[in-house]
Structure 1
Amino acid sequence: MNENTLFKKLPLGVTFDDVLLVPVRSSVKSRSDVDVKTNLTKKIKLKIPFIPANMDTVTECNMAIAVAHEGSMGIIHRFHSIEREVEEVKKVKRVEDLVLRHPVTLFPSHTLADVLFLIDRYDTRSFLVVDEKNKLLGILTSRDYQFEKNLNTKVNKMMTPLERLIIAPHDTTLEHAKKILSEKRLEKLPLVNKDGTLAGLYTAKDIIYFESKPNALRDKEGRLMVGASVGAIGDFMERAEELVKAEVDLLLVDVAHGHADHIIDAIKSLRRKFPNVQIMGGNVATGYAAKDLI
C-alpha cells in the first residue's frame, strides 16, 4: 500500500482549532432570554448544564458550594473515610440553610477545648447551648470566648444565658425573622418549640446571602443541594446509608467502567434500600450502557 492509498483510507480527524461554528440568523434578542436549564435526574433540574468532576482534586465542599450558588451540583468524591465524606456533605447543607434545623450545639459542661475542636470541624464560631433534652439554655459566640485562655473553662461560664436572649417560635416566617433581626440589631435568632426545645436558627448572614443568590440550586428547605459518590463493592452500602442520613440529595455510583454486572446490581440494591433518593451511575460511554443502568 503506497502513501496516497493509505491517506485516502484514513478518516478525517480535526481538533478544536479546526472547527468554527458559523453564526446564523437568530430570533433571540438578548442572552438573558436563553434558557440552559437541564435535568440531571427526573427530580433535579440544573440551572446550568455543567457539573464539576467528582475527583479528589476537584470537588469537596468548597467547590460544591460554589457551583450550587450558580445553579449546578457538586458531587463529593468517595476517596475519603465515610465520616469525612459525610462531613463534607453536611458542610454544604449547613452553609446557608435558610432555617438551620440542626445547628451545632453544646452542653453547658463542654469546655473551651471542645469549642475549639468544633470550630475546626464545622467551620462555625457560634453555638447554641442545650441540655440533654435539647432545651435551649443559651448561646455561645466568639465574643464570649475570644479572650478566654483556660481550655478547661466550662461553656456555662462563658455563654449568654437564655433569659438574655431574644427568641422566636418554631414557625416564624422569613419576613417576620428579618423584621426581628433588623429591629433588635441581632445577628442570630433561635427558634424554639412550645416546650422550649430548640427548633432551629435564623441568621442575618444566611438570609442576606440567600437573597443574593437567586439562581442557586436549593432543596425544598432552602438549603444548597449536593451529591456524593459511592463505589460498588466493599462498604458502599454503609457509606450510602450514612450519606442519606446526612440528607444528601443524590448518590452517584462512581466507577471507571460502569457497564458491568456488579455496577448494575449495586444500583439495584441502592434503589431498593433508598427508594426516595436520586441515584446516578457511571462512567459509561455508549447508549446501550446508559439504557442498562437506567
Structure 2
Amino acid sequence: MADSLSNCGTSYVPEDGTDGLTYNDVRILPGFIDFIADEVDLTSVLTDPEDHAEDAADKFEEGGFIMDPMVLSPSHTVGDVMEPKMRHGFSGIPMTETGIMRSKLVGIVTSSDINFLAEKDHNTLLSEVMKPRIELVVALAGVTLKEANEILQCSKKGKLPIINDLDELVAIIARTDLKRNRDYLLASKDSHEQLLWGAAVGTPADGKYLLDLLTQAGVNVIILDLSQGNSVYQIAIVHYIKQKYPNLQVTGGNVVTAAQGKNLIDAGVDELCVGMSCGSICITQEVMACGWPQGTAVYKVAEYAQRFGTVGHMVKALELGASTVMMGSLLAATTEAPCEYFSDGVQLKKYRGMGSLDAMEKSSSSRKRYFSEGDKVKIAQGASCSIQDKGYTQKFMPYHIVGIHLSVLWSMMYSGELKFEKQTVSAQTEGGVHGLHFYEKRLLLRTVVEAEVVDGAHPSVPLQAQPPSVTEWSTDLHYGFPSSFPGREEGRS
C-alpha cells in the first residue's frame, strides 16, 4: 500500500488551524431517505483489503480450519501441557511424531487425560496419558467445512484432526471455534474463520523485539502507540516495519492535522489514528495547550487521507470521514474488562488514562508513549477514575449498532450532499430531553426470538419467520429531573 500512496503524491495538504469544532458542536441536517436501516452496511475499512490478498498456497477453500495449532510429541511431558492450559485454556492438543505440523499423527491429549494428575506427575511422558491414534476420529484433507462440522457433531469430540493421505496432521477443527463462529457472526475473521487481531508497540528501542515476536504469532495489524505520531521515532519504526515486513499492516498516530498525517502516509502507514486528548480521561489539551477538537481533526485528516485510500460520537466520526471507530471507556466498563472491585455495593472498574501518573508508575510503556521515560518530573496528561460496570458487551453494543444503522450517511460525505450545521449551547439543549419535571428514558428494547437449533446449527428459517416465542426487555433505564429541582438525580440507572 505504501507504493500506491507514494505513486499518488502527497504534496498538497489542506490548510490546518481553522476553527475547531467537536462532535457536540454540530448536528447533521436531515435529507432524503430511500432505504431502510437494515440495508446500511456497517463493514468498516481498517486497512487496504488488497494488501491481504496474497494467501498461503495450502489454504483451505472454506474457513473454520486451524492451520497452526499448538502441537506436541509423545516425548513431551504433562508439565508441557499444563503451562499453555493455564495460560490459554487449551483443552486438546494433538500429538505428532516430531511435535510439529505435517508430521504423522499419533494421538491427542485432552483435559480429561490430565485433570486429576498431581504435581508430582508433571514429568510423566504424554505417551503414557494421551489418547492413541486408533481412538481418534479424523477427517481427510479436502473435506468441506460443512462435512467436517457434521463429523465433529456426531463424534461429540472437542477437536477434529485433519490429516492427509500420509496420515500427517495438516489442520484441526475445534468445537469451541464452531460455537464462537455461530454466536459472533459479525466478528472480524480471516479466510480460515480465525479472529483478526492487532497489537500495539512503542518506540524503536523496544518495539523491534516485540514486533518480531508478534509477527511470529501471526498478528494482523500493528498499532504504533505514541501520543504524538508525527515524530522521528514513529517514522523510523514505520520504515523498519515496511522494510522487514512489507505486507504487515501498520496504524500510525496519533495525529490531528493533515500535515501530521502527510508525514506518516509518506513514511508508509496504512491507517491513521486521529485524536489528541479527546478521551474522557485525557488532559493533554488542558495541560499542554496542544491539540485540536476531534470533529474538525477527523474531518481534516480524513479529507486529506481519503484521496490515497488510507482510510458515544461514532455516527458523527464516520460521517466526518472516519472509516473505523476506537472505543475506550465504552468497553472498559464492561463485565469482560479486567480489574473489578466493589464499593458500597456497586461493581466498579478501574480506568486509567495512558498519560496518568498511575499508569506511568505502573508501566514503562506509558512513559515511553509520552516521551517521558527519562524525565525526573512526570507531567500527567491523563487521569485515573472508577467507572460503573455496564454489563456484558452483548447488552449494549446492539444499541450502538442499530443507532448507526439508522444514521450513517458516509457515502454522501464527499459528494457534498451531507450538510452539517454548527450548534449553539441552546440548540444542543433543545436537541435533548428538556423542559420536563420528570422523565423516563429507555435507550434499548431488545427482542429475542427463541428458535430451536438442531445440533448447534443455525436455524434454516430467518429469525423474522420463526414462531412468535418472544422475550423483551429494556436496558439503560434512566430517570431525570430538571436542573432547578432540588437534589436532582440525572442518569440514575
Do both proteins adopt the same fold according to a TM-score greater than 0.5, normalized to the shorter chain?
A: yes
Matched residue, 1:215:
186
Measured against aligned partners, the alpha-carbon deviations of 1:176-226 in whole angstroms (never above 9, x if no partner) come to: 101212333333210112222211111223123213322111112221111
Residues of 1 paired with 2:148 and 2:126: CA distance? 27
Relative distance call for 1:139 and 1:253 in structure 2 (3 A) is same
Q: State the distance in 1 between where 2:79 and 2:203 align.
A: 39
1:141 aligns with 2:110: yes
SS of 2:208's equivalent?
helix
Equivalence for 1:201: 172
Specify whether residues 152 and 271 from structure 1 end up closer, same or farther in structure 2 by C-alpha distance, changes over 3 A only.
closer
Q: Which has the higher contact order (CA 8 A, sep 6+)?
A: 1
Alignment partner, residue 40 of structure 1: 46
Whole-angstrom distance in 1 between the partners of 2:34 and 2:162 = 47
Query: Normalising to structure 2: TM-score of the pair?
Result: 0.43
Given residue 146 of structure 1, which amino acid in structure 2 is its aligned partner? N
Q: Secondary structure at the match of 1:265?
A: helix
Q: Aligned partners of 2:109, 2:224: CA distance in 1, in Å?
A: 40
Pick the structure with greater CA Rg. Answer: 2
Unaligned runs of 5+ in 1: 1-10, 46-96
| Partner SS state of residue 256, structure 2 | coil
Q: What does residue range 1-294 of structure 1 map to in structure 2 within 5 Å?
A: 16=24, 21=27, 24=30, 26-27=32-33, 30-43=36-49, 98-132=64-98, 134-149=103-118, 150-294=121-265
DSSP 3-state at the match of 2:49? coil
**Structure 2 unpaired stretches of 5+:** 1-18, 52-62, 266-493
CA distance in 2, matches of 1:182, 1:14: 52
Deviation at 1:115, TM superposition (A): 2.1
Q: Is the 8 A contact 2:66 2:192 kept in 1?
A: no
Q: Deviation string for 1:15-46 (max 9, x for gaps)?
A: 94xx684773552654322233332222289x
Answer yes or no: is the 8 Å Cα contact 1:226–1:249 preserved in 2.
yes
**Superposition deviation, residue 105 in structure 1:** 2.2
CA gap 1:36/1:184 in 2 versus in 1, 3 angstroms: closer
- In structure 2, give the amino acid aligned to 1:116: M
Q: d(CA) in 2 for partners of 1:224 and 1:182?
A: 22
> Retained in 1: the 8 A contact 2:70–2:94?
yes
Distance 1:263 1:205, change over 3 A: closer
Give RMSD over aligned pairs.
2.8
Q: What is the deviation of 1:165?
A: 1.0
Would you say the 8 A contact 1:100–1:202 is kept in 2? yes
1:76 corresponds to which residue? Answer: none
- CA drift at 1:107: 2.1
Letter in 2 for 1:137: V
CA contact (8 A) 2:92 2:158 kept: no
Identical residues among aligned pairs (%): 28
